[in-house]
Amino acid sequence: MSGPGYAYKALNRAVGKAIHDYDMIRDGDRILVGLSGGSDSLALLWMLAERRPRIRITYHLEAAYLDPGFGGHAAEALKPFCERLGVSLHSEVTDFGVVSHGPLNRENPCFLCARLRRKRLFEIAAELDCRTLALGHNRDDVIETLFLNICYAGEISTMRPAQDLFSGRFRVVRPMAYADEQLIRRFVNEWDLPVTTNPCPSAGRSRRAEIKDLLQQLYRSNRKIKGNIFRAMRHVKPEYLLK
């Protein structure tokens, strides 16, 4: 199916279903959206802002962008974008990316950078009295994380669409968890959202990129594989796993 507006309708349906299935947003919630300047987080903020006037519950949105320290102009593009959506943007320049790519951390810079960014996002959320942190991970990210953890951590696990942390003090939600990466890219192109280039030196050559390439080969061989992998994470049979 194709045509003008299809990407919006399909993405809105996927986001709405994920929010409903996991009770992600509740009346009166204060939500901090983590922005990266990439397609996923921009689409997430747009969808959450667009939903507010047409649903029964009310919630407040804030946005945060953490510059990893490689230069670039993402903050300049994000500020007017957030203003159009009526969302306050909190932008900081950090050294998280530089530190993560330092001489003492060559093996897995992405892991450290993500951990540092997540820690700071929780701090900002606390400062803004936001109990919920919304992140733009999509269905491809959930599947790739499963394979990353199997291959590099020796465990069967992935990121959950919604999860309470720190004894319930914070909640992480991923409203894009049911949406395919390709659909999000199409939506972003249709609505001309201000995507910025990722300045990270590991972009496109990380462990995640390797897993993505591997999975793409599988998907090309059989179009049902992606859906089957995603459904399999809900149909685990522990009695057939090693103890």
Q: What are the residue boundaries of the structural domains of the chain, listed by start?
A: 6-240
pLDDT tens digits, one per residue of 125-181: 999 999 999 999 999 999 999 999 999 999 999 999 999 999 999 999 999 999 999
Q: What is the pLDDT of residue 98?
A: 79
**DSSP category for residue 53:** G
Query: What average pLDDT does this structure show over 92-113?
Result: 79
pLDDT tens digits, one per residue of 26-79: 999 999 999 999 999 999 999 999 999 999 999 999 999 999 888 777 889 999
User: CA-based angle 63:69:71, to the nearest 5?
Assistant: 95
Q: What is the pLDDT of residue 2?
A: 45
Query: What average pLDDT does this structure show over 4-14?
Result: 91
**Cβ contacts of 78 within 8 Å, gap of 6 or more:** 35, 37, 63, 65, 89, 91, 194, 196
Q: How far apart are CA 2 and CA 147, in angstroms?
A: 31
**CATH homologous superfamily, domain 6-240:** HUPs (3.40.50.620)
Give the percent of the chain with pLDDT over 70: 96
Q: Which residue has the tokens 């606390």?
A: 126
